[in-house]
Amino acid sequence: MARTKQSKRGPAGETSGSGAPPAVIYSRDRLPAGLYLAATPIGAAGDVTLRALDALTRADAIAAEDTRRALKLMSIHGVPRAGRPLIAYHDHNGEAVRPGILARIEAGESVVCVTDAGTPLIADPGWKLAEAAIGRGLKVVALPGASAVLAALSVAGLPTDRFMFAGFTAPKQAARRADLAALKAVPATLVFYESPRRLGALLADMTHVFGGERRAAVCRELTKLHEEVRRGTLAALAENYDGSAPKGEIVVCVGPPEECAPGADETDAALRAALREMGVRDAATTVAGALGLPRRAVYARALALTTETDET
């Protein structure tokens, strides 16, 4: 890429001077045929990546969940449409539009797919397009970048060694509580999307199903001017949002359940039962896996129990 004079664009994509050109002139070569899944900003326009802008500049066609948002982002960053097809692709027209997009790629075109905000395929119809392209043996390329899920995890203050994206829960209470009950024992931080209007009801149901002492965070308007993160127990957060619907995009993170380590008596009982059927090594492996305990410690205890049995 050839560089031009320095841009006056600020970190969020706003122009600090008048008519400042983009900082980079992108390659004029066409992209190789394929489906390119490009992440777009979830708030601050400056969070788009150079690879995404390059792909938007070079693609033969662009598929967007909201074509108006795509055009606005392209305008902010000086990406010309240049007469290229801009295809609306969303939940309501996906079945009808998908074959045409795939046909373009099969004919040798490159298509960039962007969502309203964030990474395509995350709570987004793009996954069906990617699945269909892969099924036809077409090239699928990820252009990673902004993600509300990862942004929320970054600031939630909860464990991130394991996490699960749970998307939106059901709108009605009975179905929502059933959804939550299925996730109650998952040993990972859970990440949900929710509308501001239903946030209070969701937190109340989480308190009922998960227990009020479970740690959580409500992340609102991430990367935007009025970004806010509230952290605390589910009970405290439910009380805070009871009858008070906030504004903006919401991500809720819920920490994993407290670990309840099996007691020594339970471990010994399981080992004695296993040792009646198998050797020490296999018994230790079986019990450690079943109870979620370190194998080395269980093996040492199995040896001790075997010694006690031999002495008696």
Q: How many CB atoms lie within 10 A of CB 277?
A: 9
Q: pLDDT tens, 4-62?
A: 333 333 334 333 333 444 445 556 688 999 999 999 999 999 999 999 999 999 999 99
Amino acid at 249: E
**22 Cβ contact partners less than 8 Å away, ≥ 6 residues apart:** 4, 7, 9, 77, 78, 79
Here the tokens at position 263 are 């007691």
Return the SS3 of 61. Answer: strand
53 exposed, middle or buried (CB, 10 Å; 0-12, 13-18, 19+)? buried
The pTM (predicted TM-score) of the whole model is 0.74
Average pLDDT over residues 89-96: 94
Asked if 253 and 224 count as a contact pair (C-beta separation under 8 A), the reply is no
Question: What is the C-alpha to C-alpha distance for residues 135 and 83, in angstroms, rounded to an integer?
Answer: 30
Question: What is the C-alpha to C-alpha distance for residues 26 and 39, in angstroms, rounded to an integer?
Answer: 18
Asked if 259 and 162 count as a contact pair (C-beta separation under 8 A), the reply is no
Residue 260's pLDDT is what? Answer: 55
